[in-house]
Amino acid sequence: MTKQYTVAVVGATGAVGEQLLRMLEERDFPIKQLKLLSSARSAGTKLAFRGEEVTVEEATPDSFKGVEIALFSAGGDVSKALIPHAVEHGAVCIDNTNAFRMDPETPLVVPEVNADQIANHKGVIANPNCSTIQMVAALKPLQDRYGIKKIIVSTYQAVSGAGARAVEETLRQTREVLNGNEVNPEILPVGSLPVKHQIAFNAIPQIDKFQENGFTLEEMKMIRETKKIMGDDSIEVTATCVRIPVLYGHSESVYVELKSEYDLEEARSLLASAPGVVLQDDPSQQLYPLATTAAGRPEVFVGRVRRDLNEPKALNMWIVSDNLLKGAAWNAVQIAEIVAGRNNG
Ligand code: NAP
Ligand code: 12T
């Protein structure tokens, strides 16, 4: 009989939390008891899991007694405050926030790229940033075969990455514009900052807070996390992250310069056979990845693969994935499956 686990989901009422529950259900994760945790605001809410109602409780340091696997998705501050308590109670914590990703003690894992790192954990395994996950999953077969020298990425990110309220705000603003009414932005680009911008019918070149070097934190996450996950600090990475009024699915324009000459057909076939990656690339059929086709699916979609015109060792491509699935909940549940000794291939 397979072992059954006591599992906690912290941030269960959020956009990522909802998908975590869906993935645990779909994968029939071996759960003997499920604890759903949130802030005091949502405590008492009932959420459905496997046809039964589970009451959400307020997350406190004592919530983790007896918990074996804890999935955190309630923001970095909550992770910083509660993960040490969860680890003390013996839980393996899989953290969806930025809190521990660059901690040298914490493995930062995309199973298709560096599943071997999971074995080194000391109680915490970090789930990378959504935009980073889909990019490194697609680039891994090219790194293995040719080596990667340089990456230049521009993102076109969905509003659901900024939470359930950002999705509501985008729908509300779209109605306001179409009805000719005034738009009053409340959340985007960053809920905690005073200045807000309209997202409906717009493109906002700011995701997360600005850093002193002129990059945003989202851009710096992509730069640092890519090097850590790919295990090569010498890869040159630059990123520009843009929010667009798409609800689900991040798209990325990626320039990747390889360390050696490559054959385009071979590169395509490596992408086509990479685990978790689907090649959608046929200009004659106008076939390429789209957020609308990626939404709701766990894979990373790659297309528009073409040789760069100036640098023959480089290629350009378009990478799309559902930011709440491979970008968050699915990647976290994949890690949980490996922790639980399941082979999820
Ligand atoms: P969301 O829709 O705004 O949901 C936030 C969740 O956190 C809710 O369940 C909320 O509970 C809970 N929460 C907030 N403050 C809390 C507190 N003090 N104590 C306990 N729970 C608290 O946001 P989301 O999109 O699901 O994202 C949640 C977090 O996941 C983000 O902050 C980010 O760090 C991370 N994230 C990671 C990725 C990734 O790339 N891997 C992608 C998106 C998000 P209430 O219902 O009680 O408010
Ligand atoms: N601010 O996981 O706003 O660090 O889209 C993911 C998404 C942080 C993260 C976003 C963010 C993260 C967003």
Average pLDDT, the chain: 98
Domain extent, residue 215, equals 132-323
Q: Residue 33 sits in a domain of what CATH number?
A: 3.40.50.720
Asked whether residue 20 falls in the same domain as residue 97, the answer is: yes
Q: Can you tell me the mean pLDDT for 155-180?
A: 98
Read off the pLDDT band of 2 (50, 70, 90).
confident
The answer as to whether 191 is a domain residue is yes
Asked whether residue 82 falls in the same domain as residue 214, the answer is: no
Q: Does ligand 2 come within 6 angstroms of the Cβ of 208? A: yes
Asked whether residue 272 falls in the same domain as residue 285, the answer is: yes
Question: Is the pLDDT assigned to residue 42 strictly greater than 60?
Answer: yes
Q: Closest ligand to 207 CA? A: 2
Is the previous residue joined to 283 through a cis bond, with omega within 30 degrees of 0?
A: no
- C-alpha of residue 208 to centroid of ligand 2, in Å: 7
pLDDT of residue 27: 98
Q: Residue 160 sits in a domain of what CATH number?
A: 3.30.360.10
The conformational region for residue 180 under phi > 0 = left, psi -120 to 50 = alpha, else beta, is left
pLDDT tens digits, one per residue of 277-320: 999 999 999 999 999 999 999 999 999 999 999 999 999 999 99
Burial 119-150 (b: 16+ CB within 10 A, else e): eebebbbbbbbbbbbbbbbbbbbbbeebebbb
Distance CA 92, CA 70 (A): 6
DSSP secondary structure of 6-52? EEEEETTTSHHHHHHHHHHHHTT--EEEEEEEE-TTTTT-EEEETTE
Q: Closest ligand to 250 CA? A: 2
Asked whether residue 110 falls in the same domain as residue 156, the answer is: no
Q: Does ligand 2 come within 6 angstroms of the Cβ of 161? A: yes
The answer as to whether 344 is a domain residue is no
Report DSSP state, residue 325: I
pLDDT tens digits, one per residue of 96-113: 999 999 999 999 999 999
Q: Are 207 and 216 in contact (CB under 8 A)?
A: yes
The answer as to whether 345 is a domain residue is no
Asked whether residue 63 falls in the same domain as residue 153, the answer is: no
Q: Does ligand 2 come within 6 angstroms of the Cβ of 16? A: no
Read off the pLDDT band of 342 (50, 70, 90).
confident
Element (H, E) at 250: strand 250-258
Domain count, the chain: 2
pLDDT tens digits, one per residue of 74-84: 999 999 999 99
State which ligand 1 atom lies nearest to the alpha carbon of 163.
25
